[in-house]
């Protein structure tokens, strides 16, 4: 099963989904993938009697030497990244099917993944953020984002999140001046994924 998830040019959603969902392979934009490494992981699992694998693919993932999959372009106005990503999940599913001989299906979650029922933790966290934001507003602190740092509510300037960009398109990561936060290979998420055996297609 291949699951294509959103995230554009950064693999945070794909990586966290893969870890939380027990995926075997996670293909993210920050790591141009070798499809043969994914095949090796699938074959390793088959050798021990596991005839299924779960592959999470970020919409902005691309094979080594290849390019991202573009589903089309939109016209949402100047300064907006009008590139509509999509299709990499289907490409990966067809390639894995061809190389392994196993049936592969792709599901593109898109906005459906945002529609889940919130847990009690989600509700408490969002309420804490809202209360902190209101407290900051009452103190006259604007242009900031509420965050949790070291387990405590805090805030950071918006520039720490989106940089000095003045264009909407820059925020999406598709410009030279973008300050998009990409997954780095020394991040704890990458270390965790690798330590539990998730293949990144390297």
pLDDT at res. 179: 62
Sign of the Cα pseudo-torsion (194, 199, 200, 201, in order):
positive
DSSP strand pairing (70-73 vs 83-85): antiparallel
Where do the domains of the chain lie, and which CATH numbers do they carry? Answer: 2-116+183-195 (3.40.50.460), 120-162 (no CATH)
> Can you list the alpha helix ranges (DSSP code H) found in 71-202?
88-100, 120-138, 158-162, 168-171, 188-195
Neighbours of 165 (CB within 10 A): 16
What pLDDT was estimated at residue 172?
56
Q: Which residues contact 145 (CB under 8 A, 6 or more apart)?
A: 155, 156, 157, 158, 160, 161
Q: Mind giving me the DSSP string for 42-80?
A: HHHHHHTT-----EEEETT--BTT----EEEE----TTS
Per-residue pLDDT 10s for the chain (202 aa) are 999 999 888 999 999 999 999 999 999 999 999 999 999 999 999 999 999 999 999 999 999 999 999 988 877 666 567 788 999 999 999 999 999 999 999 999 877 667 778 899 999 999 999 999 999 999 999 989 999 999 999 999 887 776 666 555 544 555 555 667 789 999 999 999 999 999 999 9
What gap in Å lies between CA 105 and CA 93, rounded to an integer? Answer: 6
Residue of 11, 145, 10 lying closest to 81 (CA atoms): 10
CA atoms within 13 A on the CB side of 34: 6
Looking at residue 80, its pLDDT comes to 62
Which helix (H) or strand (E) segment holds residue 38: the answer is: helix 35-47
């Amino acid at each position: 099963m291949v699951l294509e998830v959103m995230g554009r040019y950064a693999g945070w959603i794909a990586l966290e989904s893969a870890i939380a969902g027990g995926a075997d392979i996670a293909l993210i934009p920050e790591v141009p993938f070798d499809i043969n490494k994914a095949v090796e992981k699938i074959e390793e699992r088959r050798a021990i009697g596991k005839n299924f694998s779960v592959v999470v693919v970020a919409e902005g993932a691309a094979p080594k030497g290849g390019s991202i999959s573009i589903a089309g372009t939109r016209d949402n106005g100047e300064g907006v990244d009008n590139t509509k990503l999509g299709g990499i999940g289907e490409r990966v599913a067809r390639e894995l099917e061809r190389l392994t001989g196993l049936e592969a299906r792709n599901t593109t979650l898109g906005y459906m993944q945002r529609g889940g029922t919130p847990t009690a933790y989600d509700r408490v966290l969002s309420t804490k953020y809202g209360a902190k934001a209101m407290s900051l507003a009452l103190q006259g602190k604007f242009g900031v984002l509420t965050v949790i740092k070291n387990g405590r509510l805090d805030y950071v300037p918006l520039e720490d999140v989106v940089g000095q960009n003045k264009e909407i398109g820059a925020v999406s990561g598709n410009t030279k001046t973008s300050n998009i936060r990409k997954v780095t290979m020394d991040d704890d998420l990458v270390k965790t994924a690798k330590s539990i055996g998730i293949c990144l297609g390297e």
